[in-house]
Chains A and B, each alone.
Chain A
Amino acid sequence: MSVSSIWFSRLNLDNPYGKESYVLAFLFSVLVAVISYPLSLHMDIANIIMLFLLEVFLCAIWLGQGPSLLAAIASVLLFDFFFVPPQFALLTTSVEHIVMMVVMLLIALLTGQMASVLLAQNRELQASEALTSSLYRMARELAGASSAQQVEEIAQRYPASAAASSLLSIAQERLHYADMLETQHVQVESERLRNAILSSLSHDLRTPLTALVGLTEVLQLDNANLSPSQSNMVDAVHEQSVRLAGMVAKLLDLARLSAGKVTINKEWNSLADVTGAALALLSHALAKHPLTVEIPGNFPLVEFDAVLIERVISNLLDNACKYTPAGTPITIAAVLNSRQVEMRICDRGSETLFNTLMTSGIAANRVAAPEKNTGLGLAICEAILKVHGGTLYLQQHKGGGICACFTLPFSTPPVMDDEPEEKPT
């Protein structure tokens, strides 16, 4: 606080000891008057003024500005009454003494004011230091807090202020991000663990199945020493092993796809390409059906996981082959709408399957398991499309049979520089 504010600062009548301090200030003035009365017989009254000034100064420090004002007035009156000649009267004719009393009053007021300003400044400093150190302690505790509940508790222990609430919001933000990081970390870890378990499970299940399939196939190849019925049995064991291997593969796929968050390898892929690969995989089963593929040569690339969508197409094609009589046609078509791509795999004769599926609830997007494991295949297809943001549904074909349709979201594929065709040389 500057010197000028000592003069102009507002009179602060608050004081730490209440109304009693005015009484105290008055009594203090009286006490000084009583003590200095015998002294006045031996010394000049100018020295007595010093005692009164000291008293006003002490009042200002101990009792505050209001009481020091009272003490100053009381002191001047007492001094006038008891010490200034004529004694025991308030009137005086000596100009010297009047000046002396006015100066005394001014000095008393001024020292009182100064003392109380210093006091107020000191208190303010102490308060701000207390606030700073409380904020510091609060910040330190908040830095160590590891849960929202702890932050709450700390907030309750400290007085509310703008700085405190900003500290709190920083702490809450920090906790929020720490939480997010933790969740993400747990997700990644659990996915990694799940994949590791599935991978080792896959290895453990496939190894004996591989041996079983391989051993029976070797027996089939070299069956000269087997009786016809033994040979039939070997065929049966081989067939069942292959089927079991297929089911295990499907179950593992389903386990991977339906547990929590799945990471897929989305790239810009060609539906024609993937369909071709699926047709090659199923060439044996498809040989019995006339096949039409209606995917235009200029069909744009679509973003999907090629391995998974190939699985969807081959599962749907496999169903179409399994549930229709040999010789009935199968059509595969891709249609581009503005927002999505639709693939339709239609057959002409799996009415029974359609009815089974309809009653089992695939229409309501819930796949139950009808006979012959169709449900498992469809459940995998559905899980795959779900992670792609697509849908799977069945429709009854106008001319009989069913269409298994699925959609994939479509967005504009990346552009690629074209180059001119080479002229033959």
Chain B
Amino acid sequence: MNNNSVLIVEDEPRIRQFLRTALETEGFKVLEAPTVTGGLGLAGEYRPGLVVLDLGLPDADGIEFIRILRSWSDVPVLVLSARNMESDKVAALDVGADDYLAKPFGVTELLARLRALRRRREKRPTDDFAVIRFGEVVVDRANRAITRSGEVVHLTPREYHLLTVLLAQPGKILTQRQLLREVWGTGHAEDGHYIRIYIGRLRQKLETDPTHPRHLLTETGVGYRFNP
């Protein structure tokens, strides 16, 4: 595993050019591939620490790249989508992408996302503390106890379950389908409104300003993300 390397799979040379410059300035070692086949080859050979993937590639769909990559690797994948269709982002996240950015994107934003992905990956094995703090909220998973500004907050079992699923993967977008499967089980794939109601209740109970949430964030049309 080469933690400090980034694989860029993108067919447009100009985009690869500024990505390489920006990533090298940031201290990453950069690998480039213009096709799905080439990208999979490099990913197998060099085992990069991060993958930046364009969805519209000439030889195959980027979704296919993630599906194949996920059969042997859990390297974080950030998807670049030129298409404005939310369904593409959802499809990419559902097969195992970790984050996405819509083109055109800011380089600063991209670097911030990549740093976050790398941090999450490095911390994961040691970060399983029972207690998580965000804002004024303290969640003690060992005792199933939650306080906000020192006051006890009561959650229903479902609300608690949904919260812990989101907390387990800070920063990662969880699609509606993933959350429904995790919290409500299979057979509820079409019941997206459950999540919206429960997220609304969690915000009422946990966010300082529920209409302007800081921690339980919506990716409209895609899913939800816990921002510590």
By a beta-carbon cutoff of 8 Å, the part of chain A in contact with chain B is 199, 202-203, 206-215, 217-218, 221-222, 241-242, 245, 249, 252-253, 265, 267-270, 272-277, 279-280, 291, 293, 295, 297, 301, 306-307, 310, 413-414, 416, 419-425
Contacts of A269 in B (CB 8 A): 193, 196
Contacts of A273 in B (CB 8 A): 196, 199-200, 218, 220
Contacts A218-B107, A421-B155 supplied; 12 other A-B pairs, CB < 8 Å: A203-B83, A207-B103, A213-B106, A215-B17, A221-B107, A270-B196, A274-B218, A276-B218, A301-B196, A422-B154, A422-B157, A422-B160
The answer to whether A416 touches B197, judged by C-beta atoms less than 8 angstroms apart, is: yes
The answer to whether A277 touches B152, judged by C-beta atoms less than 8 angstroms apart, is: no
B198-223 with Cβ < 8 A to chain A: 199-200, 203-204, 209-213, 217-221
Residue from B83, B103, B157, B197 with most neighbouring chain A CB atoms (10 Å): B103
Determine the distance from Cα of A168 to Cα of B21 in the docked complex, in whole angstroms.
74
Determine the distance from Cα of A208 to Cα of B192 in the docked complex, in whole angstroms.
36
Contacts of A275 in B (CB 8 A): 211
The answer to whether A221 touches B108, judged by C-beta atoms less than 8 angstroms apart, is: yes
Asked if B18 is at the interface (CB within 8 A of a chain A CB), the reply is: yes
B89-127 with Cβ < 8 A to chain A: 103-108
Chain B residues within 8 Å of chain A by Cβ, number: 51
The answer to whether B18 touches A215, judged by C-beta atoms less than 8 angstroms apart, is: yes
Chain A nearest Cβ from B24, distance in angstroms: 10
The answer to whether A214 touches B86, judged by C-beta atoms less than 8 angstroms apart, is: no
Chain A nearest Cβ from B63, distance in angstroms: 15
Chain A nearest Cβ from B142, distance in angstroms: 11
The answer to whether B193 touches A217, judged by C-beta atoms less than 8 angstroms apart, is: no
The answer to whether A422 touches B144, judged by C-beta atoms less than 8 angstroms apart, is: yes
Asked if B84 is at the interface (CB within 8 A of a chain A CB), the reply is: yes
Determine the distance from Cα of A221 to Cα of B23 in the docked complex, in whole angstroms.
12
Determine the distance from Cα of A137 to Cα of B204 in the docked complex, in whole angstroms.
75
Known contacts A416-B197, A424-B152, A425-B143; is-contact A211 B211 (Cβ 8 Å): no
- Pick the residue among A203, A218, A221, A274 that contacts B82 (CB under 8 A): A203
The answer to whether B221 touches A265, judged by C-beta atoms less than 8 angstroms apart, is: yes
The answer to whether B220 touches A221, judged by C-beta atoms less than 8 angstroms apart, is: no
Contacts of B103 in A (CB 8 A): 206-207, 209-210
Known contacts A217-B108, A268-B193; is-contact A202 B18 (Cβ 8 Å): no
The answer to whether B211 touches A272, judged by C-beta atoms less than 8 angstroms apart, is: yes
- Pick the residue among B82, B160, B211, B213 that contacts A206 (CB under 8 A): B82
The answer to whether A213 touches B25, judged by C-beta atoms less than 8 angstroms apart, is: no
- Pick the residue among A209, A218, A291 that contacts B22 (CB under 8 A): A218
Contacts of A277 in B (CB 8 A): 217-220
Determine the distance from Cα of A265 to Cα of B221 in the docked complex, in whole angstroms.
9
Determine the distance from Cα of A301 to Cα of B196 in the docked complex, in whole angstroms.
8
Determine the distance from Cα of A219 to Cα of B108 in the docked complex, in whole angstroms.
12
The answer to whether B25 touches A306, judged by C-beta atoms less than 8 angstroms apart, is: no
Determine the distance from Cα of A242 to Cα of B106 in the docked complex, in whole angstroms.
9
Contacts of B83 in A (CB 8 A): 199, 202-203
The count of A-to-B residue pairs whose CB atoms sit within 8 angstroms is 150
Determine the distance from Cα of A277 to Cα of B86 in the docked complex, in whole angstroms.
15
Contacts of B213 in A (CB 8 A): 276, 280
- Pick the residue among A221, A280, A416, A421 that contacts B25 (CB under 8 A): A221
The answer to whether B14 touches A208, judged by C-beta atoms less than 8 angstroms apart, is: yes
Contacts of B12 in A (CB 8 A): 207, 210-211
Q: Is the interface of B mostly helix, strand, loop or mixed?
A: mixed
Known contacts A222-B25, A424-B145; is-contact A211 B15 (Cβ 8 Å): yes
29 CB-based A-B contacts, threshold 8 Å: A206-B104, A207-B103, A208-B14, A210-B103, A210-B104, A211-B15, A211-B17, A211-B18, A212-B104, A213-B104, A214-B22, A214-B105, A217-B22, A217-B107, A218-B107, A221-B25, A221-B108, A252-B84, A253-B84, A267-B192, A269-B193, A269-B196, A277-B220, A280-B217, A416-B193, A416-B194, A416-B197, A419-B157, A425-B143
Asked if B1 is at the interface (CB within 8 A of a chain A CB), the reply is: no
Taken residue by residue from 1 to 32, chain B's Cβ proximity to chain A (1 for < 8 Å, 0 otherwise) reads as 00000000000101101110110010000000
The answer to whether A217 touches B56, judged by C-beta atoms less than 8 angstroms apart, is: no
Determine the distance from Cα of A414 to Cα of B80 in the docked complex, in whole angstroms.
36
Asked if B186 is at the interface (CB within 8 A of a chain A CB), the reply is: no
Smallest CB gap from A279: residue in B: B212
Asked if B133 is at the interface (CB within 8 A of a chain A CB), the reply is: no
Asked if B156 is at the interface (CB within 8 A of a chain A CB), the reply is: yes
Contacts of A213 in B (CB 8 A): 104-106
Contacts of B143 in A (CB 8 A): 425
Determine the distance from Cα of A293 to Cα of B56 in the docked complex, in whole angstroms.
39
Chain A nearest Cβ from B202, distance in angstroms: 11
Asked if B181 is at the interface (CB within 8 A of a chain A CB), the reply is: no
Chain B nearest Cβ from A57, distance in angstroms: 85
Asked if B158 is at the interface (CB within 8 A of a chain A CB), the reply is: yes
Asked if B85 is at the interface (CB within 8 A of a chain A CB), the reply is: yes
- Pick the residue among B14, B17, B82 that contacts A202 (CB under 8 A): B82
The answer to whether B105 touches A210, judged by C-beta atoms less than 8 angstroms apart, is: yes
Determine the distance from Cα of A218 to Cα of B20 in the docked complex, in whole angstroms.
10
Contacts of B145 in A (CB 8 A): 424-425
Smallest CB gap from A275: residue in B: B211
Contacts of A272 in B (CB 8 A): 200, 203, 210-211
Determine the distance from Cα of A286 to Cα of B1 in the docked complex, in whole angstroms.
43
Smallest CB gap from B20: residue in A: A218
The answer to whether B104 touches A420, judged by C-beta atoms less than 8 angstroms apart, is: no
Determine the distance from Cα of A329 to Cα of B52 in the docked complex, in whole angstroms.
40
Contacts of B204 in A (CB 8 A): 297
Chain B nearest Cβ from A273, distance in angstroms: 5
Closest 4 CB pairs of A and B: A211-B14, A293-B211, A268-B193, A307-B221
Chain B nearest Cβ from A155, distance in angstroms: 49
Determine the distance from Cα of A310 to Cα of B221 in the docked complex, in whole angstroms.
9
Contacts of B144 in A (CB 8 A): 422, 424-425
Determine the distance from Cα of A295 to Cα of B212 in the docked complex, in whole angstroms.
11
- Pick the residue among B85, B157, B203, B221 that contacts A306 (CB under 8 A): B221
